[in-house]
Each structure stands twice: as C-alpha cells, then as structure tokens.
Amino acid sequence: MAFVKRYLIPRLISFVLVIFLGVTAVFFIPRFTPSDPVQRTIAQLQSQGSYLDPGSMDSMIEDLREMYGLEGSMLQQYGAFWRRVFTGDFGVSFFQFPTPVIELIRTSLPWTAGLLLWATLLSWTLGNLIGGLAGYFSRNRWSRALDTVAMIIRPMPYYIFALMLLILFAYVVRLFPIAGGTDIGRRAALSWAFVSDVLRHAFLPALSMVVLGTAITFQTMKLIVQNVNAEDFVQYAKLGGVKERRIVSRYVIRNAMLPQITNLALALGQILSGALITEIVFSYPGLGTLLFNAIVTGDYNLIMGITAMSILAITTAILVIDLVYPLFDPRVRLM
C-alpha cells in the first residue's frame, strides 16, 4: 500500500500533468509565432504560381479562417481543441486542406516506426552487448580497438556520416538505392518482392542510425561497466571464487543495465518525433519531414497532432519504465 501511495500515485499524477501542460504548450506556442496559416497558405499558392485575384482575396481569407476553425477567441479555440483531442481528432491539416491530420500521420508513421524501432532496438542491443563485454575486458586488445573505432565514429556529425554512406553505397559502389521508401512503380503488397524492396530502401538509413547509435551506447555501457566492475561487491565476488561468467551476467551487466533501460524507454518514446536528418539525407518518408513542413507552413493542427502524440508516447514510456523498474531494481521495491 505504501508503494502505491508513495511511488505509483505520484507518478500517475505527474503523467497526467505533463501531458496536460505539454499539449497546452503545443496549442499556444505556434499561435505566438509570426507565421499565420491562412497567410502562409495564400503565400504558398502564390509562390507556386497560382494567380489569386487580389479583388477576391478578402473573401477567400474569410472562407479559409472559417474552414480552418480559426474564428473565435483563443480560449474558445483552446476549448474546442481539447474536446477534439479526447476523440483523437486533431482536425484537418491547414496546408493540405481538407485532409485530416490523423490521416497524414497514419501515412508517415509506419515508415518512421518501422525504421526507428528496429534501428533503436538493434543499436541498443549491440551497443550494450559489445560495450558490456568491452567494459569488463577493458584491458584486452580487442576492447581497446573497438573503443578506438567508437571514438572515431561518435564525434562525426550524423548528417556527414549519413551522406558518406549514401555516396559510398549508392554512387561509388552502387549497391543501394539513392532515395525513397520503395521502387518507382512498386505497389504495396504482401509479397517478398515488396518486402525486400522496402528492406533494400531502409538498409542505408537504418545502417547510418545503427552504427552511430551502437557507438554511443557502446561507449556509455563500457564506462558504466568499468565503474561497476570496480565496485566492492564485484571484487568480493571475484575473491569469493564466483565464476566469471556469472559475475559478468549477474553482477556487472545486470547492474549496468539499469540506466540503459531508462535510455531505451526514452529513445522508444521519441520515435514519434521522427528522424528529420535521416529522412532528408535518404529522402526517406516519415514523420520528421511532415513535422518540419508543418512548422514552416504554420500548420497548427498538424504540429499539434504530431507533437501531442509524441508527448503522449514519451510520457507513457517514462511511466511504463517507472512502473516496471521495481522488477529490475529490488531497491525500489523496498522504498
């Protein structure tokens, strides 16, 4: 009961509060930017060559404000916004009117989730596995060699690294496609041809993320393991004749994993924010460019839709990790 009162309830309250404040901020911040969605729509139509008769523009602006739901005070709009959020309806995209925001998200989300989920899990697993071993056997030559490789890769700006991969594997050695999520003319189908096509296009974007992600996780894990390895209880176990394999798996890695599990939860929660640079370098579909374009065009509803879902995902991930943490760390259960 004490656990529920002192641990669970405060976390549930903060979960609700963070979502409320985050979503509220998401509603108000775009409205304080100088970008007006109606003007942006008109400017975009004009800059793309459309000639909008200036004499009819005032009526057009009125029409657009009404259709975009931008009439009424900000408080009225805020109230209407929360009513819609509870039904999962973020309204229509202003810029891609009249497509519902949820449909735009639905189009891009599978690409982002598919790429980032696997890239995150793979880099986390590889980084922790190799980093854990390298940390425990830190004096070995192979451990030092891996550390050197990680030290070379990690400081590289991601954009440069990704572009390097693109040039290397799509231009110099022509193994993978330059752009896109599928071949031109390929229709979605439950077939090996389609699946292998998707994998082929995802390979370089995923590789760029996995290599850098692994290097980062590797270095973090190696450092943690080295610290845990120097703890008294590990030394005591060694002196007590506990088998090395058991020391590595049960004593060192298990303790070192605690902060890494939190990192994994946060990384998974951030998937809904997309991977803008990856999408730009590899012309890969996803939520990153969708959000970027929404910000540039002042598409309030789309910004709110993506960021609200992202806030929900991150806070949920934190809550879940808070809830399962006692399973990994008995000390929490004894609070």
Partner 1 sequence: MLRTWRILAVLLALAMFLPIIGFAQLANLPRSETLILSMLTGRVGTPSNFNEWVGWKSRDRGMQNLANEPLWSVDFATGEIINGLAAGDPVYDSNFFHVEIPLREGVTWADGAPFTAEDVVFTVELLMNTPGFNNHAFFSENVELVYKIGDYRVGFDLKQANSRFHTTFLDRWGCTWIMPKHIFEGVDDPITFEFNPFVGCGPYKLHSYDPAGYWTLWEKRADWANSPTGILYGEPGPTYIVFQAFANEGAKIIAQLTHQLDAVDLSAEGLKAALAQGDTVRAYQRGFPWVVNNDPAITGFIFNNAKAPYDNVDVRWALTLAIDIVEYAGQAVDGTGALSPVHIPSLGSYPENFIKPMEDWLKAFTLDLGGGETFQPYDPDAPARVVEYARSRGYIVSDDPAAQEAAFGLGWFKYAPEAAAKLLEKNRFSQDAEGNWLLPDGTPWRIEVVSRSDTSHLEFKNASAAVQQWKQFGIDAVHVPSDAAATLTQNGDFDVAGNWPAQEPWGAGADLYRTLDAWNSAYVRPIGELTNGNHSRWSSPEMDAVLADLRATDPAAAAATIALGIEALKIAFTEMPGTPTFGYIGFLTWDEYYWTNWPGSENAYTQPYSHWGPLKYMTPFLQPTGN
In the block, which residue shows the tokens 């056997």?
Answer: 137
Q: Of the listed pieces 176-184, 217-225, 242-250, 267-275, which binds partner 1 according to CB under 8 A?
A: 176-184
The residue (of 60 and 313) whose beta carbon lies closer to partner 1 is: 60
CB of 286 to partner 1, least distance (A): 8
d(CA 124, CA 220): 11
The footprint of partner 1 on residues 56-75 (CB under 8 A) is: 56-61, 63, 67
Verify binding: residue 84, partner 1, rule CB under 8 A.
no
CA atoms of 292 and 328, how far apart (whole Å): 38
Residues 100 to 159 in contact with partner 1, rule: CB under 8 A:
104, 107-108, 111
Site string for partner 1, 252-291 (x = CB under 8 A): ---------------------------xxxxxxx---xx-
Structure tokens at 213: 């992600």
22/299 Cα distance (integer angstroms): 18
Closest distance between partner 1 and the C-beta of residue 117, in Å? Answer: 17
Distances, alpha carbon 85 to alpha carbons 19, 108, 304, in Å: 12, 20, 10
Instruction: Indicate whether 36 belongs to the interface with partner 1 (CB under 8 A).
Output: yes
Using CB under 8 A, which of 14, 44, 77, 125 touches partner 1? Answer: 44
Q: In this structure, what is the dihedral angle of CA atoms 117, 119, 121, 123, given to the nearest 10 degrees? A: -160
Q: Show the binding pattern over residues 216-235: x = contacts partner 1 (CB under 8 A), - = does not.
A: --------------------
Round to whole Å and give the CA distance between 329 and 325.
Answer: 6
Asked if residue 305 binds partner 1 (CB under 8 A), the reply is: no
Question: Total binding residues for partner 1 by CB under 8 A?
Answer: 77
Q: Is 190 in the site for partner 1 (CB under 8 A)?
A: no
Rank residues 2 and 173 by Cβ distance to partner 1 and give the closer one.
Answer: 173
Structure tokens, 45: 């139509």
Q: Which stretch binds partner 1 (CB under 8 A): 12-20, 73-81, 115-123, 184-192?
A: 184-192
Can residue 176 be called a binding residue for partner 1 (CB under 8 A)? yes
DSSP 100-151: BHHHHHHHHHHHHHHHHHHHHHHHHHHHHHHHHHHHHTTTSHHHHHHHHHHH
CA distance 228 to 254: 10
